[in-house]
Structure 1
Amino acid sequence: MLKHVSFLTGDLPAAVAFYERLGAVIEKRAVTPEGYDRAVLRLGEGRLQLFEVTGETPRPHPHWAEHVALYVSGLRALLPELRAAGVRVTRDLQPSPGGRDMAFVLDPDGRQVELLERDGGEASR
């Protein structure tokens, strides 16, 4: 099940306005600890995170910058199966900020995919 998709943008207000026209609702606006302006938009059941990156700000770490986040069941068992199938794990199993098991892998095209344990408390993002 989709949790969220994260994109970088050079113009956060314009990006937010665009997605609002498509039916998105702002859930949260904040500045990350790293100093990036961030908006979280609700789109149906899933979320879209937008991080503003301008010429003055350094590129954020690829693990959280642009990725798809999915809820999965049984992540502790799934991760070794993915490794055995040749999937590259870029961030090993660890607790998410909300306490869920979390890991990052690459899809066949090299895109970051965040895997979050479906069972457990809701992560605060």
Structure 2
Amino acid sequence: MHEYGIAEAILSAIEHRAAGRPVRRARVRAGALLRVTEPAINQAFTLVAEGSPAEGAHVDLVIVPAQLTCRSCGSTTTSPDPYVTCPSCGGTDIDVDGGDDLILESIQMAEATHVPGDPRRDRGNPA
């Protein structure tokens, strides 16, 4: 399954951004050419994230469509499935642009269980 390589790339980006802090969720934009689904990427991510700050985190996947240009009629369209025929003429001679991106859009940190400071648990400097 190629999802494991993609999950490892996502984990690497999360670990870099989180800097050791525990992560609850991540939002990732993946191009249509990567041919991944949210359930498959989460299954792979669960395995690769074990023992990391992202252990137990969920990946929200947003599929970015590829731009298709028909060489026969010049029609341009976008599609989440890059292996389609031209919707205008039915041709199969199609150029595909984009759709291979993998971008970590955001991460959601887990809530802190301990706030450093004095034992009275105040969060500011006493005046």
TM above 0.5, one fold? no
Larger Rg: 2
Q: Which has the higher contact order (CA 8 A, sep 6+)?
A: 2
Greater strand fraction, Structure 1 or Structure 2:
1
Greater helix fraction, Structure 1 or Structure 2:
2
